[in-house]
Structure 1
């Protein structure tokens, strides 16, 4: 009989593996009459072979049989069987039984006295699913990784450094976005429901997307248009190297109307742009005809407090567990409000319209509480009504009445994958009006805005992304040309405006600091240094800077390969000789 056992083992090839194990199981008592430890070792060897052939279901069975053959080593073989079965089920997407097996795994490890690190890496399985584009397989595996972490300890972060909870949430958002874009909002809602309790999230409600104008037209608010829709021109873009074939898409040249609107009984989320009123979501960006190119991103960034997905003129938004209430306010909070460039372009121009008589003077200006002091300084400068500035924490807020005003142009946070980068064009009339008010108010406060002839180079040394890696070399060359180094983030807003307005020449990376060139004098010369990427928003920078009348020249340096970041934020270097050539080219334009 021992010979039959060996013969069955040797015949357990790819086609007969299951049959061989059936035969061994039916005659399980035979090996135990001889040398059970040896028989168990043979079964374990067979299991190892099955693992190598990626037949994990058979390997788990073989380990189980080995545990039954020899009581002395049963605990270790049973442990191997459970581990192998978990791997097998996860790879075959049979996730439901795995949570129970993880409980068994903990008991088996205790019985075997196992303290090793041989447990299945569910995080790596999830990562494999993620790389393969299988979001559901990844979500289910990350959920099980979370159970395994709580039961067994071990890895708390994913391969790319996210927490398990954030990874699950973000993958769910990707899945729900795909469903919403196909108009399958109820399916997306059900998908969220399957995991929201695990993540401590609220249920999702479905809302119709409308613009502020549409919402008011339905009798749900008051809308006062202050500047109508109009056609604007595409800006001139000048490169030192000559014309460059850009790969981005030119933003709309139809500038949207500028208005002030008021809506009652609204639910809002600081750090987000959406306004909920009844069963409608008021959001100009999401309601715009070009919204299909936009990756809106409300709810994806780490500091967001809500989940929202968009598609087919409807949206799903998570209901907050708790809210606070305010009688009234003006909406100066929103996505990326902390970033100076976004703040100056998307938010500050709203104060032009909030100063209109249609806005009651007792409405406080509501801002996100994570914004730097310079942001408040701008508001205090532009506000004509001496309004209170009210910082908001991350808790959802229900306003009795909310005043809203628009972004000057259609400006998506980013373009959707597979769609050319949308290069927004900023209307010179709105930026020029904002510039004029800022300069007028500063002059009234006694700030000296007379031309100084100064030449400044803007340092970006304190920032981690879009670094000019040879900045020190550039600065050394320019200081010998009479330039002074400026760190804008260390200056008050008034000091920054005065510096940019009185300077004759400015050199700096195309970044938030260069956005201040809106305040340049009309004879200023600006050199914008940037990497090679031809999809960069050159039209955006050109339209905003040229709104001041300043002359602008781009110099593209060499992109330096580094960390996996958005192409816009890649580090780069620029040859000092190119910068000197750029200065000569600008001086020759007089």
Structure 2
């Protein structure tokens, strides 16, 4: 007898806010450039981090790389200076899931506060050219009317006279703001308008079987994929699709089935979706729930209690084996239709 348990416990919280995130103007701060393994961020002259510029996880702790050691100070006199006003958007992270929940949420009011001459100040290891060479980032930023010329970062500590810091509209594993949904839905609407939707898909199955690296895999997921194919589901491999293609397919599907992965976050750009998710743990990462609540998705997360954890494999942080995978796939398919 297959035991498929519906997940009800969150890892984190998932509050939804209808009010706007705060926007703070910070005067006379110091920009420390991004340094992998070192300290970076926006700081006041006495060494305190600018809290509005930090992406907290679960709303609690300042990351270790964005605070100075106890008693540490910044040599303000040695820093270069800039009298321009900037809009700060945090670290630009090109990993798809982190881009959607850490980077993009800072842009919720960019169209209102940016003038043609105001530069967008960011942190990160990548140059502007490298950022825009990432196809989905290029697409999303272009939908916001942004181009490489709009972005800037500094290579050395820099004193800045004025920085506008919009607080994030998505607090990782804690809360989401209605403005984030509005931002993403407008982007999705523009893409759909440009591309057009010409098909309807009854069931769409997102498969990880062709991934070469990932946070986690189910080593025998191919058995689930084969069952879904036999039932007439359309099988897609998200890493082989452009952002526009993922968005179009997800928007066209009556039912979406997948194991948990950041590609499910694409639903925030779509109308409300029906999602049936094979969850590899008993708890739901609350980022999924935040997006589901913002987008008003009908989403269910199901954990097979017989799931087995395997030793770590090259290219993956976690690996699992799913006993009786076809029977689990059958139940998931039935649930998606109910």
| TM-score range normalised by the length of the shorter chain | 0.7 to 0.9
Bigger fraction of residues in strand: 2
CA distance in structure 1 between the partners assigned to 2:176 and 2:227 by the alignment: 33
Give 1:395 deviation, angstroms. 5.0
CA distance in structure 2 between the partners assigned to 1:528 and 1:586 by the alignment: 9
TM-score by length of 1: 0.46
- Counterpart mapping for 1:36-435 below 5 A: 241-242=5-6, 244=8, 246=9, 248-251=11-14, 257-268=20-31, 269-270=33-34, 274-279=41-46, 280-284=48-52, 293-294=60-61, 296-299=62-65, 308=67, 316=72, 327-334=84-91, 337-356=93-112, 358-367=113-122, 368=124, 369=126, 371=131, 372-383=134-145, 388-390=149-151, 392=153, 395-411=156-172, 423-427=173-177, 429-435=178-184
SS in 2 for 1:281: coil
Which residue is equivalent to 2:195? 447
Higher relative contact order (CA 8 A, sep 6+): 2
Which residue is equivalent to 1:585? 335
TM-score by length of 2: 0.76
| Pairs aligned (count) | 315
| Residue 553 of structure 1, aligned match among 300, 310, 320 | 300
Mark the runs of 5 or more structure 2 residues left unpaired by the alignment: none
The alignment yields a C-alpha RMSD, in angstroms, of 3.8
Bigger fraction of residues in helix: 1
Q: Is the 8 A contact 1:331 1:404 kept in 2?
A: yes
Larger radius of gyration: 1
Give 1:393 deviation, angstroms. 7.3
Q: Is the 8 A contact 1:256 1:408 kept in 2?
A: no
